Amino acid sequence: MRTPQPSSPVSRRVFLGQLVVAAALVLAPRRGRALEPLPQTKKLGVALVGLGGYSTHQLGPALRATRHCRLTGVVTGSREKGVKWAHNYGFPERNVFSYDTMERMAGNPDIDIVYVVTPNLLHAGHCIAAAKAGKHVICEKPMATSVADCDAMIAACRAAGVRLTVGYRLHYEPHHAEFARLAREKVIGPFLRMSGANGFEMNSSATAKTAWRLDKRLAGGGPLMDMGVYVIQAACMAKVEEAPVAVTAQFGPVTRPKVFSEVEESITWTMEFAGGAVANCRATYGEQVSNFRAEADHGWAQFEDPAFYYAEPMLTTSRGPVNLPKVNHQVAQLDGMAMELLDGRPSLAPGEMGRRDIAIAEAIYAAAKSSRRVEVQA
Ligand code: NAD
């Protein structure tokens, strides 16, 4: 059968991007658990849990453009809002659930995947409820606010026989997928020295968007949990998904102590890998910054600022610039994850990877609090 070719330049670019992502996925190492392939006859139905900024502005619109999945339900605290989403996205009102009625998704044939997009503390409960309803789960980053919660989420999904993946969109973005390939195939490398930073300037007025991010209980921490996970991810990607053996870390600088009374404003840390590779990293709510560089003895690879935002990343290596098609990150991720499920392939971003990153974050906080080197129990 001939593959349909998109005609407009925009759709052709998206299509080419999808081909690159598909190629990257085929070349990628197999991670996580394999599942039985699902019937390829339909688009998978996705229910979004939490209709805040990320769902409204990125995931919802992306689900209009995906080829392998579509929005078929929502879980929200406001039925009125959920009904508006149902009309807007064309799914039945019966697929609007509240946080307390998620178990009613069990047996609902419209919903295959539940995508958890709530504040970090709530990820565990929403993920476990989805698993109990027999649905595959995509959980936003950071996976949870503790390793103990990650373990409970992984156990619940295993017990239910469903897949748990983390919304690590960059594994499905062509430039980051290419960086992973460069590291994996040691085209440049092995990488020995990494450095990176990620952050934005948090507005001091506690809007709905910022309020929970400044609440230590709900967020699990500050910019390390929100923005730093991307730097942790990139450093581990440079080391072919190896976890560091130990970390050291410092909080600061502090410029607005009143705003950041519960969570850190900024944090720097160093990850030490077996074999001597080192990553010097920073996460901040004090300035807009987003970069990453990895050096080997005979070459380097670098993401220009912004390395981790939604824009097209610019990857340059000691061999020259890497030119790959621009994709919408969320479309690529959602289609990539749907294709993994449909094909029964292991995920590029399994729950175990999310757990590893929370174990690293816990070690970083312990190191910053104690001013000591802390071994990572990943
Ligand atoms: P947001 O504040 O805009 O939305 C959070 C949603 O959760 C809201 O609809 C809110 O009503 C709901 N909610 C339910 N219970 C709540 C409670 N007890 N307190 C506060 N809100 C509650 O946040 P967001 O920016 O959409 O982030 C949601 C999740 O998505 C976070 O885990 C965040 O890290 C993640 N995220 C990921 C990316 C990415 O690029 N992968 C980008 C943005 C956010």
CA distance 137 to 46: 9
Most informative mutation of 84, 118, 216, 329 for ligand 1 (most atoms within 8 A of CB): 118
pLDDT reported for residue 108: 97
Ligand 1 atom closest to the CA of 118, numbered from 1: 7
Amino acid at 44: L
Domain ranges within the chain, ordered by starting residue: 9-169, 174-325+351-375
**Residue 3: its pLDDT value, please?**
30
pLDDT in the model for residue 34: 63
What is residue 33's predicted lDDT score, i.e. its pLDDT?
Answer: 59
Distances (CA, A) of 312 to 118, 127, 150, 253, 298: 26, 30, 31, 30, 27
- Residues 139 and 117: their CA atoms lie apart, in Å, by 7
- Please report, as a single letter, which amino acid is at residue 307: A
Beta bridge partners of 48: 74, 115
CATH-assigned architecture of domain 174-325+351-375: 2-Layer Sandwich (3.30)
Mutational pocket test of ligand 1: of 117, 165, 263, 309, the residue with most ligand atoms within 8 Å of the beta carbon: 117
- Residue 309 has phi, psi (to 5 degrees) of -75, -175
- Ligand 1 pocket, CB under 6 A: 50-55, 77, 117-120, 122, 140-141, 167, 169, 208-209, 212, 218, 226
The preferred substitution site among 140, 169, 233, 290 for testing ligand 1, maximizing ligand atoms within 8 Å of CB, is 140
Contact 155, 132 (CB under 8 A): no
**Measured in angstroms, how far is the CA atom of residue 122 from the centroid of ligand 1?**
10
Catalytic-residue membership of 309:
no
Right CATH for 9-169 from 3.40.50.10860, 3.40.50.1100, 3.30.565.60, 3.40.50.720: 3.40.50.720
Q: How far apart are the first and last CA of the chain?
A: 46
Query: Can you give the pLDDT at residue 12?
Result: 32
Residues 6+ apart with CB under 8 A from 56: none
Give the span between the Cα atoms of 101 and 123, in whole angstroms: 16
What is the Cα–Cα distance from 48 to 185, expressed in whole angstroms?
A: 36
Structure confidence at residue 41 (pLDDT) = 65
The answer to whether 187 touches 161, Cβ cutoff 8 Å, is no
Match 């469903």 to its residue by tokens: 162
Tell the residue nearest (CA) to atom 6 of ligand 1: 52
Instruction: Yes or no: say if 109 and 44 are a contact pair by the CB < 8 Å rule.
Output: no
Whether the CB-CB separation of 122 and 76 falls below 8 Å is answered with no
Three-class SS string for the chain? CCCCCCCCHHHHHHHHHHHHHHHHHHHCCCCCCCCCCCCCCCCEEEEEECCCHHHHHHHHHHHHHCCCEEEEEEECCCHHHHHHHHHHHCCCHHHEECHHHHHHHCCCCCCCEEEECCCHHHHHHHHHHHHHCCCEEEECCCCCCCHHHHHHHHHHHHHHCCCEEECCHHHHCHHHHHHHHHHHCCCCCCCCEEEEEEECCCCCCCCHHHHHHHCHHHHCCCHHHHHHHHHHHHHHHHCCCCCCCEEEEEECCCCCCCCCCCCCCEEEEEEECCCCCEEEEEEECCCCEEEEEEEECCEEEEECCCCCCCCCCCEEECCEEECCCCCCHHHHHHHHHHHHHHHCCCCCCEHHHHHHHHHHHHHHHHHHHHCCCEECCC
Classify burial at 257, counting beta carbons within 10 Å of its beta carbon; exposed 0-12, middle 13-18, buried 19 or more.
Answer: exposed
pTM of the model: 0.91
Q: Which of 54, 89, 141, 239 is catalytic?
A: 141
Query: How do beta strands 69-75 and 374-375 pair?
Result: unpaired
- Residue by residue, pLDDT tens for the chain (378 residues) are 223 333 332 233 333 334 334 434 333 433 455 666 666 567 999 999 999 999 999 999 999 999 999 999 999 999 999 999 999 999 999 999 999 999 999 999 999 999 999 999 999 999 999 999 999 999 999 999 999 999 999 999 999 999 999 999 999 999 999 999 999 999 997 999 999 999 999 986 656 557 899 999 999 999 999 999 999 999 999 999 999 999 999 999 999 999 999 999 999 999 999 999 999 999 999 999 999 999 999 999 999 999 999 999 999 999 999 999 999 999 999 999 999 999 999 999 999 999 999 999 999 999 999 999 999 998
Cα separation values, 179 from 186, 237, 301, Å: 10, 8, 8
